Structure 1
Amino acid sequence: MEKRFVAPLTEPEQQTLTSAYHHGEKRALRRRAHAILLSDQGHTINQISEILQVRRDAVSRWFKQWEVSGFDGLIDKPRSGRTPALDEHDHKRLQALVAEHPHQIRALQARFQEETGKSVATVTLRRALKKKWS
């Protein structure tokens, strides 16, 4: 099996990857940056996969993404998913309604439905309120 490494990194690339590794917001980005840095230090794909506890093909895929797109290739792309039941306007409306019905989730739910026409489960309302005030 041939040993594969990324091309030697430039100083700005090393700085960008080191910053992403130490301060990256997402764990996946930190892990991918670490893999590229380890490759630059001479570690093989097998060694990197053992260090990071990931599959060999994942490390190989990160290398390809790096070679094709650079740093942007390491960042997760937005994924599709269900749209939120409540938008920012709904959250603001909920905050106003909580002042009227602070401890009555069912009354809050009924009033919210009257005003917005949206039927939202009590669990969704609790989650939204918890997120806003936690």
Structure 2
Amino acid sequence: MVKRRFVAPLTESEQQTLTSAYHHGEKRVLRRRAHAILLSDQGHTINQISEILQVRRDAVSRWLKQWEVSGRDGIIDKPRSGRPPILDEHDHQRLKELVAEQPHQIRSLQARLQEETGKTVSTVTLRRVLKKKSP
């Protein structure tokens, strides 16, 4: 006998929440988890969902369990610890000013920033910061 697992029928509010997360969620993983729950509500099996989303079966099963236990909070990633940022907001502002002066001189920016702040930052990090902070 094949065991089938589905989420409990979704309320209108839960369907709206999940549909919004699926279409407008900030992170891909949230959109994917919301999609999995919506598919389960439509009667798709875990195997079908894992095939549709191209993820492992145990991941889909875990998402469904997390939904049942915690609702929307269960499918959102919790904050994780990580390395503190090298540059603070003041450094970001100064970097913006330096870019305005020398827009295509990443090595010069790197040297000036290190000279002014005493912080060693790779060109990769500088590019990432500039890309993230650009309008």
Counterpart of 2:98 in structure 1 is 97
Q: CA-to-partner distance for each residue in 1:14-73, whole Å, 9 max, x for gaps?
A: 111111112212111111111111111111111211221211111110011101110111
Secondary structure of the residue that 1:57 maps to in structure 2?
helix
- Give the Cα–Cα distance (whole angstroms) in 2 for the partners of residues 30 and 53 of structure 1: 14
| Aligned residue runs from structure 1 range 94-133, under 5 A | 94-101=95-102, 104-133=105-134
Larger deviation: 10-19 or 43-52? 43-52
| Identity level (%) | 84
Provide the aligned C-alpha RMSD in A.
Answer: 2.3
Give the number of aligned pairs. Answer: 134
Larger Rg: 1
Residue 95 of structure 1 and its aligned partner are, at CA, apart by 2.3
- Give TM-score, length-normalised by structure 2: 0.82
Unpaired runs of 5+ residues, structure 2, are: none
Counterpart of 1:86 in structure 2 is 87
Larger deviation: 58-67 or 15-24? 15-24
User: Relative to structure 1, is the Cα distance of residues 125 and 29 closer, same or farther in structure 2, using a 3 angstrom cutoff?
Assistant: closer
Counterpart of 1:25 in structure 2 is 26
Q: CA-to-partner distance for each residue in 1:57-90, whole Å, 9 max, x for gaps?
A: 1111001110111011111122222222222210
Counterpart of 2:9 in structure 1 is 8
Equivalent position amino acid for 1:85 in 2: I
Q: CA-to-partner distance for each residue in 1:76-130, whole Å, 9 max, x for gaps?
A: 1222222222222101112223455555545443432332222333443344345
User: Relative to structure 1, is the Cα distance of residues 63 and 93 closer, same or farther in structure 2, using a 3 angstrom cutoff?
Assistant: same
- Give TM-score, length-normalised by structure 1: 0.82
